[in-house]
Chains A and B, each alone.
Chain A
Amino acid sequence: MGLSFAATAFGLGWLVLILGVLLYEGFSGLSLKVFTEMTPPPGSDGGLLNPIIGSLLLTSLAVAIGTPIGMLAGTYMAEYGRHDRLTSIVRFINDILLSAPSIVIGLFVYEIMVYPMGHFSGWAGAVALALIVIPVVVRTTEDMLTLVPNALREAAASIGLPRALMIVRIAYRAARAGILTGVLLAVARISGETAPLLFTALNNQFGGANMNAPISSLPVVIFQFALSPYADWQKLAWTGALIITITVLALSIVARALAATGKQS
């Protein structure tokens, strides 16, 4: 039994170790310049402005594409076809997609977008990330709508509300906190995703927010800079890593808090 205590300490130890090193290495490089200057050539000063903008663009577009699709699919599963065959198949497939290797998603988007278009592009990156958002949102939407009490639906039906309006006005409202939690978790997940961006959005040293051209993003820049032999690039990689981690952890804590308040009310 002492062993299980040791195991827990072991698990928590990693968290402390990783965050500790990250804070130590990342904070020393953190300055205003990081947010206002572009990525530098090796040997000179610079910041992470273009990858930050790129990441924000890619993430928000991916959420904009993925959330409606995921919510609609989850709605079908929970509201219209709760017991039909299609729902159980979709649920199974969705669970597989949820934990499918993200690099395979990158390959898929390369095949369907990058190769036919002939060049890497921000759009391809956004689609790749959207494909990761969809299963997360499908799952939480379905789960949260299933939790909505049937009495609410029956009450809506009894005053003659059509089903579509009942879902939009009543069920969505009741499940709002839960669905939002799902979206936040999806954002947390994709803001650190690197593998699907490597050969869709690629990277772009010269900034620019053109979605039709290669666009840089924080994770890809971290990957490139960390593996480079230049000390100042490695420093920036640590700083970028700190920014991403803080963002992701903040998002997942907010999502958790939201889920907790949703459960109580």
Chain B
Amino acid sequence: MVDVALTGTGALPEEMVSRARVLDRLRLGDLVFRNLTRAAAILVLIILSGVIIALVSGSLPALRAFGFNFLIEERWNPVTERFGAIAPIYGTIVTSFLAMFIAVPVGLMIAMFLTELCPMSLRRPIGIAIELLAGIPSIIYGIWGLFVFAPFLQQYVQPGLIALFGNVPILSRLFEGPPYGIGMLTAGLILAIMVLPFITSISRDVFEAVPPVLKEAAYGVGCTTWEVVRYVVLPYTRVGVIGGVMLGLGRALGETMAVTFVIGNAHKISASILAPGTTISATIANEFTEAVGDLYTSSLIALGLILFVITFIVLAIARYLLLRIERRIG
């Protein structure tokens, strides 16, 4: 069939052969390129499964030795090789919670300012400046926290907190003990500064996606800016905001260097947020290269596994929520 068509055009057979060869080569190139890109995409999946497999296999010795107790045991004693993860887990959760407690309202406020109140000409520069906060490497927050922020808190803020809450029944437990400067409160505050840009930029993006008609209608019936945000913007963007908050939480949970500098690395659970503590990532960063013995190393990897599982769940929820709002916006 092809041959008939070819003779019809009067082309020489050799020419056709060479053309077919070129076409074959192009087809081959296309096939190779397609499969190359496919392989790269699959590699992304392999990396994630590799991370999970490596962490699980690395933490097997510890999990076999301690079983479920690993999760609830407070002791962390390299000498007797008794390890338990509850203190770092507790520290991770408390510092992240503190961070979110501060960063969520502030982040939402900034997003609100940027979308509703800020003069147009200032919006971009302020937005960029806030995002630059996200660009500063975490080790910079760490060194700044250790040398500047922690001493400041120790001298001025923490004594005030202790005096202020010292006589309040339940709250006094939270602010017990000497002002060390370093500790869970300091770590939480630094984490708050670090996740602030994530929450701000995502909330700003979803706030901007609110149809202007809705807002104008609300303004039209005499709502104040606050009422518009409270009753129109926030309900409309709820899912996206929660997604952004979860994304920030994922960051806070896994943040390592800044926390390592200021947490104090003490393997104990204290009710007071002024006390030094430790987090999962800080423990790994501090102790991994010095860990002697398989059980010690394995326990640290098991901590890493716990951290990965927690952040995986939080991030998966965040992505799911953000995906939902993306679909709605279209």
Chain B 220-256 interface mask (CB, 8 Å, partner A; 1/0): 0000111000000000000000000001001101111
Determine chain A's interface SS by DSSP, over half rule: helix
Task: Select one of B27, B224, B254 contacting A104, CB under 8 A.
Answer: B254
A11 within 8 A of B: yes
> Count of A residues near B, CB < 8 Å?
85
Q: Which of A68-115 contact B (CB under 8 A)?
A: 68-73, 75-77, 79-81, 86-87, 89-90, 92-97, 99-105, 107-108, 110-112
User: Which residues from chain A contact B264 at a C-beta distance below 8 Å?
Assistant: none
B308 within 8 A of A: yes
Inter-chain contact A219/B288, CB cutoff 8 Å: no
User: Which residues from chain A contact B250 at a C-beta distance below 8 Å?
Assistant: 99
B218 within 8 A of A: no
Inter-chain contact A256/B128, CB cutoff 8 Å: yes
Of the stretches A175-183, A190-198, A204-212, the one at the interface is: A190-198
A2 vs B113: C-alpha distance in the bound complex, in angstroms? 9
User: Which residues from chain B contact A12 at a C-beta distance below 8 Å?
Assistant: 126, 129-130
A234 vs B105: C-alpha distance in the bound complex, in angstroms? 35
A234 vs B193: C-alpha distance in the bound complex, in angstroms? 23
User: Which of A92, A107, A191 counts the most B-chain CB atoms under 10 A from its CB?
Assistant: A107
Residue of B nearest to A225 (CB): B143
Inter-chain contact B29/A164, CB cutoff 8 Å: yes
User: Which residues from chain B contact A164 at a C-beta distance below 8 Å?
Assistant: 26, 29-30, 32-34
Inter-chain contact A11/B110, CB cutoff 8 Å: yes
Inter-chain contact A96/B319, CB cutoff 8 Å: yes
Task: Select one of B39, B45, B288 contacting A89, CB under 8 A.
Answer: B45
Residue of B nearest to A237 (CB): B143
Inter-chain contact B147/A112, CB cutoff 8 Å: no
User: Which residues from chain B contact A135 at a C-beta distance below 8 Å?
Assistant: 44
Inter-chain contact A72/B36, CB cutoff 8 Å: yes
A193 vs B136: C-alpha distance in the bound complex, in angstroms? 10
Inter-chain contact B45/A198, CB cutoff 8 Å: no
B13 within 8 A of A: no
User: Which residues from chain A contact B197 at a C-beta distance below 8 Å?
Assistant: 11
Inter-chain contact B44/A101, CB cutoff 8 Å: no
Given A8-B114, A11-B133, A198-B289: A238 in contact with B143 (beta carbons within 8 A): yes
A186 within 8 A of B: no
Inter-chain contact A134/B132, CB cutoff 8 Å: no
A6 vs B110: C-alpha distance in the bound complex, in angstroms? 9
Given A96-B315, A104-B307: A73 in contact with B112 (beta carbons within 8 A): no
B171 within 8 A of A: no
Task: Select one of B40, B54, B128, B311 contacting A100, CB under 8 A.
Answer: B311
A21 within 8 A of B: yes
Residue of B nearest to A88 (CB): B323
Inter-chain contact A134/B139, CB cutoff 8 Å: no
Given A96-B316, A194-B257: A72 in contact with B40 (beta carbons within 8 A): yes
Residue of B nearest to A75 (CB): B37
Inter-chain contact A103/B284, CB cutoff 8 Å: yes
A138 within 8 A of B: yes
Q: Which of B22-63 contact A (CB under 8 A)?
A: 26-27, 29-30, 32-34, 36-45, 47-48, 50-51, 54-55, 57-58
Residue of A nearest to B26 (CB): A162
Inter-chain contact B319/A92, CB cutoff 8 Å: yes
User: Which residues from chain A contact B315 at a C-beta distance below 8 Å?
Assistant: 95-96, 99-100
A10 vs B108: C-alpha distance in the bound complex, in angstroms? 13
Residue of A nearest to B38 (CB): A76
A249 within 8 A of B: yes
Inter-chain contact A202/B289, CB cutoff 8 Å: yes
User: Which residues from chain B contact A7 at a C-beta distance below 8 Å?
Assistant: 105-106, 109-110, 113
A244 within 8 A of B: yes
User: Which residues from chain B contact A111 at a C-beta distance below 8 Å?
Assistant: 54-55, 57-58, 301
A32 within 8 A of B: no
Q: Which of A39-75 contact B (CB under 8 A)?
A: 68-73, 75
> Could you list some 8 contacts between A and B, CB below 8 A?
A8-B110, A12-B129, A14-B196, A72-B37, A76-B38, A108-B51, A194-B256, A194-B257
